[in-house]
Structure 1
């Protein structure tokens, strides 16, 4: 059986795709047969008659995944809004059954799969006629999560709220990663300590701005993945 982990964030534009790419890159450079999947993506760039899922392409490029990015995502929307609204505008509603089937197809090809969410953890994927939230994807795929957060001011509140939301929906948080971390910053170092104290969840890595690699023990990283 393969193993998976779900990467979510405390909000949009925190660096979730960037961190996801570095994780997949580390796994693959460590001779781990690792792949990637994303359920829904909005704000895709149009090239001729096709849409390019930018997040998926970025991960493929950074991690040297020689695959078509379009094959790694179930729903691609051009409109740069929340997936639930983009799906209404474009007439292509999200179906959980499709996501589960696509994920199973991906995980059958890899030993480890990193699944990237959309926006923050409270992200609606479908609301008009029935409700599908990002948490429903996480629980349907039976995955634990890693939370990506900014190291900046305000992150304590955002991380604690994200952790509490996950716990309230029986989602297991395996670790927290701080992005744009400055090891010389007293604020960033204090944020890390307070987050760990308040959540009892370890900050498993601190990633500096524009780093090319993520510092985390490969065996420790692999131990965070859950059999699917």
Structure 2
């Protein structure tokens, strides 16, 4: 039985397509991953996209697969994408944001299996490439944590396979509270082992002056070797980050 840490992964199953772009990161794009589910990736991504728009960039949002969505007039609405669009004020059409939208509130691989609509990497890459050709910056949000399975049937596709297929650098969103040193450290270590470029960390639900959270910020930098790029407080409507730092993430 082959597990995730064997060599038989989607990246091996798609060797030819990945070798064509190996070593070349997709310009003007960034992948937002997290230490797990519900750490605030969508909220932080919305803050990032809003900031890009305010800086005069024609910004786009993309999420390959999103589950747990509701129907409106018979149509499944990608909730995360709808939130980012409304919060950030971008003009991008909602239908271009998420190629795979699932109703079941499960991991994408399970929702896809139950709904008979498995993720196909070439389809994702085609829609992503279309956005790259039309927008200044494309921010891609992941699902769950870095080991989130997107498809698990005859093909085994995990989140890292998507990141590699799109040739994207990452930033890591982590909760500022108890447990984040371990969670951020393990995620950063995994990214490094899998040769996925990581550019920094954004701490969510941060309370300035909180002794533990201030220490968590320092310890996350020390343990991971990555800079904490920004700290997001509960209810923030603006991302506190220097423009050159944010724009540098997309170079």
Query: TM-score scaled by structure 1?
Result: 0.97
Question: C-alpha distance in 2, partners of 1:4/1:68?
Answer: 18
- SS state of the match for residue 52, structure 2? helix
Give, in whole Å, the separation in 2 of the partners of 1:101 and 1:128. Answer: 22
Partner SS for 2:87: helix
**Higher fraction of strand:** 1
Matched, 1:138 2:163: yes
| Alpha-carbon offset, residue 68 of structure 1 | 2.9
Q: Are positions 1:63 and 2:88 aligned together? A: yes
**Structure 2: stretches of 5+ with no match in the other structure:** 1-25
Shift in Å, 1:48? 2.3
Aligned length: 226
The 4+ residue runs of structure 1 with deviation greater than 2 A are none
Q: Give the SS at the match of 2:64.
A: strand
Post-superposition offset of 1:205: 0.2
Partner of 2:173: 148
User: More deviation in 105-114 or 150-159?
Assistant: 105-114
Partner Cα distance (1:223, 1:48) in 2: 41
Is residue 213 from structure 1 mapped to residue 213 from structure 2 by the alignment? Answer: no
Q: Does 1:165 align with 2:190?
A: yes
Unaligned runs of 5+ in 1: none
Cα distance in 2, alignment partners of residues 78 and 69 from structure 1: 17
How is 1:1-228 mapped onto 2 (pairs within 5 angstroms)? 2-226=27-251
Determine helix, strand or coil for the equivalent of 1:149.
strand
- Taking structure 2 as the reference length, the TM-score comes to 0.88
Q: Could you give the per-residue CA deviations for residues 31-68 of structure 1, whole angstroms, max 9, x where no partner exists?
A: 11211111000011111210110000011001111233
- Secondary structure at 1:189's aligned position in 2? helix
